Structure 1
């Protein structure tokens, strides 16, 4: 953290985030961690989170190095998940606030954009409002996930406005980048730090960007990303035509071609052409009430996105299509560079692993107050997020030991066997009856102070005839 005097506010801030406080902005955190000196603690925490020049990357790096080995005890890292999340704001002065797409508004879920465009082909105008949006990268296995990179998306209107940048203390090296460009930078940084590798997962807000997919391929990163139904693809076994023959004049043609008789189709049109036997019901995980399953088809083909500007065709990839049983047409599409021999159930399992990020954001917002920061500056926005992620890292590290959040792998395990006749030290002899007077073989209890003998309890004699006064004997 840079200075030893930041250790106390660090501990108090994270402790406050973990406590059951309804609002987790600075003042309530001060009240719950130092009720006898709220004003002084408020100033301390306010300076610590809003102004102190400690490094978010260094803190998140420490959290990553501490938490990931604990996550990996329950299985190797399988995926790196790219996503973004929005925070509605009423004013216009908080850093990065702009009228943009925000999934938290409870309307159309269009929180991710490509530049300023919505992630989907559907009309998302109802979900536009003032909000901040941050891009994150998380690593995940089958049981847990952890955000390892987090950065505010700065709209171009903010990036090009020197006065607003100065008021919000936006660093000079921060320039306008689209969300896919921010995500690629985060992936490059994680790769350089040697983070355990995984398949890149993202929704169509990122997968629909050809530059993002090309950037992943350039980094030699395997991916399974959502795409639009309008994605241009070649039918299986087809591809673009080779460059036209050279006429002998000018520069030889180098670009592949297509024509009216040989052209690609949309992913949606291809899905409609698939025969009934191409669809399979695949389950991918247990839900809260039942097993989650749907109908899927997977085909190997070549994407056709702007390949007319290329000297050669795109490499073959998987197109995974989901069409639930009660839907008239497909609802989701993915492109994946997983190997050609990957079975469809593994494709589905990998694509659906992205659900971890939805849970992460839900818990970070609802339990740890990720969206409760009330400051307006760049540094405070990122400091608060880094501290929330640090607290979240602690929670997921101990989750396996706190019922009922234990992972499915720990539930149902048989207890370790004990030798026959084992008796814990200090426990009663199970062979003895509760009342020693009724047990003719009762052994004396060691290490007991001598005491007066209790009066003998009247016992029922086996020969009732000798004792006519005793008509019955009842216990309860």
Structure 2
């Protein structure tokens, strides 16, 4: 919190922010302004709501300060920049960016918010350093909804690959020393791959089996058909990590393909210069089911299959990071509706996650001196923090009774306003929905 202290205009907001980060690390069933306020001993959620929506606080600068802490921690390590999106189910399109769209987190198409996240992943550390809320095209073009949600004028529609490129560019400009970019099929477009090459990064991106590539002879072929030419003896079995049931191993193969994403400044050079670097198609085959996944890869110089396998496997670590931030720091539990509130809730969740990640990384060397113990994991670390450092949630009798009465009163007022809105809306010649909403809000 000392790193972001200068981002607050008032010390009251700074103190509330510190309480919010502590609250996110407490052992709670759900995390939102109501439950956190009760656990922290506040008489109501108003202080936390004010911090998220109206307090004078530069959340963009705060994220940059946290990134600097991460950069210092990762200095000298081989870092892979990993991008992936995650979605949160919503019940109304009034929430900023909410619409019917696909999200793997909800298992298909549904009403949800989707955000693109950028993580820095090294051999021992994984931490999310940036995020961008995806606004669907119809949402970004709706001036009325933008004004109600407080979306800044400079925020316009951008595809997920465009958001990813902007975040990677910002991370490198902040001083992060990354060599690789990794993403799934959403981020395999030519524009993004060309951007990564312009930034001097190698990449490994997932592609579909039907994705077409150009082989060494100049023929366009689907990835699955090209890999089918690999002879059985050319598949190499490599270890990809450790799971609860032991070592994970897959069969791997790679073939040379022609690059199609040469940056603009090289487009007029000869073919040899345009093809500088190593461009390959990598396939991963499950050793039992035979299921094959495909990856398009490029490196600025010579590269081994082992290096590409390591980069591809590091992309999976962002899924573990999502589990950590959702399960222990409430990334998807904010129940916020406006732009400022979403940006700040996600920021504080990422700060709490960074506390766990950087603390675990700081004690990693001590763990190595005890070969009979595995390194301390973030779930184990948070158990220690809750037992030894963090204050217990407030549960005294008077406070609990006060919060129950307050919550029941608030819900009664909300029910009355909801019913009033329906009655006024059903009357002939009733006022507009906006006017009725204002009346109900004033009554509450």
Distance 1:232 1:283 in 2: 28
Distance 2:366 2:249 in 1: 20
- Aligned residues of 2:249 and 2:287 also touching (Cα < 8 A): no
71 and 191 in structure 1: CA distance in 2 versus 1, 3 angstrom threshold: closer
- Aligned residues of 1:144 and 1:356 also touching (Cα < 8 A): no
Residue in structure 1 matched with residue 19 of structure 2 by the alignment? 12
Question: Deviation per CA, 1:47-103, whole angstroms, max 9, x where unpaired?
Answer: 00122242222112222222443355xx60420111111001122210000100111
Superposed CA RMSD? 2.4
Distance 1:67 1:81 in 2: 15
State the shift of 1:406 in Å: 8.6
Q: Equivalent residue of 2:96, what SS?
A: coil
172 and 159 in structure 1: CA distance in 2 versus 1, 3 angstrom threshold: same
Question: Deviation per CA, 1:12-66, whole angstroms, max 9, x where unpaired?
Answer: 10010010011110011111112xx422xx2111100122242222112222222
- Aligned residues of 1:231 and 1:305 also touching (Cα < 8 A): no
State the shift of 1:401 in Å: 7.1
Distance 1:393 1:234 in 2: 42
Residue in structure 2 matched with residue 186 of structure 1 by the alignment? 167
Confirm whether residue 363 of structure 1 aligns to residue 324 of structure 2.
yes
384 and 399 in structure 1: CA distance in 2 versus 1, 3 angstrom threshold: same
Confirm whether residue 98 of structure 1 aligns to residue 99 of structure 2.
yes
Distance 2:241 2:352 in 1: 27
Equivalent runs, 1:283-298 vs 2, <5 Å: 283-298=239-254
Residue in structure 2 matched with residue 2 of structure 1 by the alignment? 8
Equivalent runs, 1:339-358 vs 2, <5 Å: 341-358=302-319
- Aligned residues of 2:125 and 2:361 also touching (Cα < 8 A): no
Confirm whether residue 170 of structure 1 aligns to residue 151 of structure 2.
yes
Distance 2:240 2:171 in 1: 28
Distance 1:339 1:294 in 2: 26
TM-score where L is the length of structure 2:
0.76
Equivalent runs, 1:301-340 vs 2, <5 Å: 301-303=257-259, 315=275, 317-328=279-290, 330-338=291-299
Q: Equivalent residue of 1:273, what SS?
A: coil
Q: What are the ranges of 5 or more consecutive residues in structure 1 without an aligned counterpart?
A: 108-126, 240-262, 415-476
265 and 92 in structure 1: CA distance in 2 versus 1, 3 angstrom threshold: same
- Aligned residues of 1:17 and 1:368 also touching (Cα < 8 A): yes
Higher CA-based Rg: 1
Distance 2:369 2:113 in 1: 39
- Aligned residues of 1:91 and 1:130 also touching (Cα < 8 A): yes
- Aligned residues of 1:300 and 1:340 also touching (Cα < 8 A): no
- Aligned residues of 2:8 and 2:14 also touching (Cα < 8 A): no
Distance 1:222 1:54 in 2: 36
Q: Equivalent residue of 2:286, what SS?
A: coil
171 and 290 in structure 1: CA distance in 2 versus 1, 3 angstrom threshold: same
Q: Equivalent residue of 2:178, what SS?
A: coil
Distance 1:373 1:337 in 2: 39
Equivalent runs, 1:39-438 vs 2, <5 Å: 39=44, 42-72=45-75, 76-105=77-106, 107=107, 127-207=108-188, 209-235=189-215, 237-239=216-218, 263-303=219-259, 315=275, 317-328=279-290, 330-338=291-299, 341-400=302-361, 409=368, 411-412=370-371
Structure with bigger RCO (C-alpha 8 Å, 6+ apart):
2
Distance 1:349 1:20 in 2: 35
Q: Equivalent residue of 2:251, what SS?
A: strand
Distance 2:366 2:328 in 1: 19
State the shift of 1:347 in Å: 1.4
Q: What are the ranges of 5 or more consecutive residues in structure 2 without an aligned counterpart?
A: 1-6, 374-444
Distance 2:225 2:301 in 1: 23
- 4+ residue runs of structure 1 moved beyond 3 angstroms? 303-306, 310-314, 405-411
- Aligned residues of 2:98 and 2:113 also touching (Cα < 8 A): yes
407 and 171 in structure 1: CA distance in 2 versus 1, 3 angstrom threshold: farther
More helix by share: 2
Residue in structure 2 matched with residue 243 of structure 1 by the alignment? none
- Number of aligned residue pairs: 358
Distance 1:147 1:238 in 2: 41
TM-score where L is the length of structure 1:
0.71
Distance 1:365 1:406 in 2: 27
298 and 78 in structure 1: CA distance in 2 versus 1, 3 angstrom threshold: same
